[in-house]
Amino acid sequence: MSDAMLQDPQDPQDPQDPQDLQDLQDAQDLRARAARLDAEDPLAKHRERFTLPEGVVYLDGNSLGALPAGVPGAVADVVHRQWGELLIRSWDESGWWTAPERIGDRVAPLIGAAPGQVTVGDSTSVNLFKALVGAARLAAPGRTRMLVDATTFPTDGYIAASAARMTGLDLVPVDPSEAAAAMDDRTAVVLLNHVDYRTGRLHDLPALTAAAHAAGALIVWDLCHTAGALPVGLDAHAVDLAVGCTYKYLNGGPGSPAYIYVAERHQGAFDSPLPGWNSHAEPFAMTPEYAPAQGAARARVGTPDILSMLALESALDAWEDVDVEAVRAKSLALTDFFLECVAAYVPAGAVEVVTPLEHAHRGSQVSLRTDGARAVMTELISRGIVGDFRAPDVLRFGFTPLYVGFADAERAARTLGHIFG
């Protein structure tokens, strides 16, 4: 990237050219609109529930959510009192043993699930392996194929390939736009991402779930980029199984435990490929024979990571009294406004919008393609705008409505415009 691209971030101080005067007026209008939208935003008050660096616009919550203000005190209590003083007694007295299902029931309404169907623990990868093998074991006999999103996050593809080998299925990568047409009486399991992690494209969960069921297959959804960003409706759309992380829009912290959803109608027959003592019907009987627990607990494996687990539980307090529909409405308004600001500030042809403009196909991020994307993002971060880069040429900006405002969106686009001169 040339030095000419990296211009001073200040607006023209004494513009003489009529176009410069118009540009300055447009910028002032956008800033005024941003201030008005923030003043009218019913979710703006929730920003106080998070600890954010002064002077930084944080648009990477689709990779790691901000720190909820109550988490440090909650973790200190877990370390000093629950562990330091109560010691082993905390498994009962502090509710450690029941944490995976208790916290699962707090995640459940954020993904449209009734209680008793979500358990928290392990990583997304481990839960995805459990879900895929479990789904294959639930599938009708004689089915031979596992369809997997060809554009998926790499780990999902790796796990799907291993699960297919274990269950004797043929792995068939498909573009999500062609997935419904590829489902037939050979299909046992379908794995799709609700949102494409590179482009922010939102896939049609209701229609694709219905298509899988019409073909007699089970479907597994990866919700990493939608839980906490938009309504999901797992129960309403009769999804079979789903997995997701908690460190993005749910703000659970780096490496916080993931979750797995097993629809109630499948729980009695769900056969986890990782049966551990925590999912045993009588875990303290220590018998050599395995008997699975009832309900969501049969998706557990080993001893849960209590420090991360209880940090997540505290983080979920930030969602108290929050309507996910309102979050979705603000997300769309924010991304619309950001795209408008990019069009106003960034020279024509400098970036290409790869996120769908249609609301029905857009998640809660905006991805822009540009030459020298890594250098551009590095420069943005140096100027206090934190997004992220995806190889080879994509700038990603995640919009987390509980703590990102319209002034943030305007400043980010304006700074991007300055970088391009």
Is 261 an active-site residue? Answer: no
Tell me which H or E stretch contains 119: strand 118-120
How far is 7 from 334, CA to CA, in rounded Å?
26
Catalytic residue among 58, 129, 247, 345: 247
Angle separating helix axes 124-138 and 154-167, nearest 10 degrees: 40
Give the number of other Cβ atoms within 10 Å of residue 150's Cβ: 13
How far is 355 from 195, CA to CA, in rounded Å?
11
Give the number of other Cβ atoms within 10 Å of residue 284's Cβ: 7
How far is 413 from 167, CA to CA, in rounded Å?
48
How far is 107 from 305, CA to CA, in rounded Å?
17
Give the number of other Cβ atoms within 10 Å of residue 207's Cβ: 12
For residue 146, the SS3 value is: strand
How far is 388 from 377, CA to CA, in rounded Å?
6
Could you report how far apart the first and last alpha carbons of the chain are, in Å? Answer: 12
Catalytic residue among 248, 300, 330, 362: 248
Is 248 an active-site residue? Answer: yes
* Residue 67: partners with Cβ closer than 8 Å, 6 or more residues away: 50, 51, 52, 251, 253
Catalytic residue among 222, 240, 305, 408: 222
Catalytic residue among 50, 58, 129, 153: 153
Catalytic residue among 396, 397, 399, 411: 396
CA proximity to 332, closest of 415, 401, 284, 273: 401
What DSSP line would sit under 343-391, residue for residue?
Answer: HHHSPTTS-EE-S-SSGGGB-SEEEEE-TTHHHHHHHHHHTTEE-EEET
Q: What's the count of helices (H) and strands (E) in the chain, helices before strands?
A: 13, 15
Is 396 an active-site residue? Answer: yes
Cβ–Cβ < 8 Å for 193, 153: yes
Tell me which H or E stretch contains 192: strand 187-193
Cβ–Cβ < 8 Å for 324, 227: no
Cβ–Cβ < 8 Å for 312, 258: no
* Residues catalogued as catalytic: 153, 222, 247-248, 396
